[in-house]
């Protein structure tokens, strides 16, 4: 259940985060291209149309949006940070062959362990690796 761009804008307004041109562009990009891009990719693509955009702003914006809970950072292997619109109950699959990242449905809220009885759990993430159908 991906939130629409309009819903995200309202969410930002509700949290008193200014809807600047740059922030809306980043948010729009993430809703339009849900391919889990890196900051570099986001910057490179947006820079084509918005030549004044700086990479620092992309990083700042992503951090702001992540702190607001609208964006989630996926830390894959190889220390690459990738970004997506935050949605619940899905995991990520990374193909060892082509590097693509796929979303898949999984009830992450249902994950529990007796060892964590006295822990306060804030977030649960699931990350699989392997080979995708396209590469098989």
Q: Which parts of this chain interact with DNA (CB under 7 A)? A: 17-18, 20-23, 38-40, 50, 52-57, 59-61, 63, 79-81
Structure tokens at 78: 């190889």
**Partner in contact with 28, chosen from a copy of itself, DNA, none, beta carbon below 5 to 8 Å by kind:** none
* Residue 94: other Cβ atoms inside 10 A: 22
CA 51 vs CA 20, 27, 40, 75, 108: distances in Å = 16, 17, 14, 28, 40
State the minimum distance, in angstroms, from the CB of residue 105 to a copy of itself.
5
Q: Which three-class secondary structure state does DSSP give residue 84?
A: strand
Q: Which of DNA, a copy of itself, none sits in contact with 126, Cβ below 5 to 8 A by type?
A: a copy of itself
d(CA 98, CA 118): 40
Which of DNA, a copy of itself, none does residue 133 bind (CB under 5 to 8 Å by kind)? a copy of itself
Smallest separation, CB 20 to a copy of itself (Å) = 26
CB of 55 to a copy of itself, least distance (A): 17
Choose among a copy of itself, DNA, none what residue 59 binds, the Cβ cut-off being 5 to 8 Å by kind: DNA
- Quick note: the x/- pattern for a copy of itself over 107-136, rule CB under 8 A, is ----x-xxxx-xxxxxxxxxxxxxxxx--x
3-state secondary structure of 46: helix
In whole angstroms, what separates CA 114 from the centre of its chain?
Answer: 29
């Amino acid at each position: 259940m991906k939130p629409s761009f309009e819903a995200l804008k309202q969410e930002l307004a509700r949290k008193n985060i200014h809807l600047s041109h740059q922030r809306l562009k980043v948010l729009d990009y993430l809703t339009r291209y849900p391919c889990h891009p890196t900051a570099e990719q986001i910057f490179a693509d947006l820079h084509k149309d918005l030549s004044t955009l700086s990479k620092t702003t992309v990083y700042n914006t992503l951090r702001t949006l992540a702190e607001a809970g609208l964006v989630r950072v996926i830390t894959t292997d190889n220390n690459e940070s990738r970004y997506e619109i935050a949605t619940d109950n899905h995991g990520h699959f990374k193909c060892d062959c082509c590097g693509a990242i796929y979303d898949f449905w999984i009830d992450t809220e249902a994950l529990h362990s007796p060892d964590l009885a006295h822990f306060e759990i804030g977030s649960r993430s699931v990350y699989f690796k392997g080979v995708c159908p396209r590469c098989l």
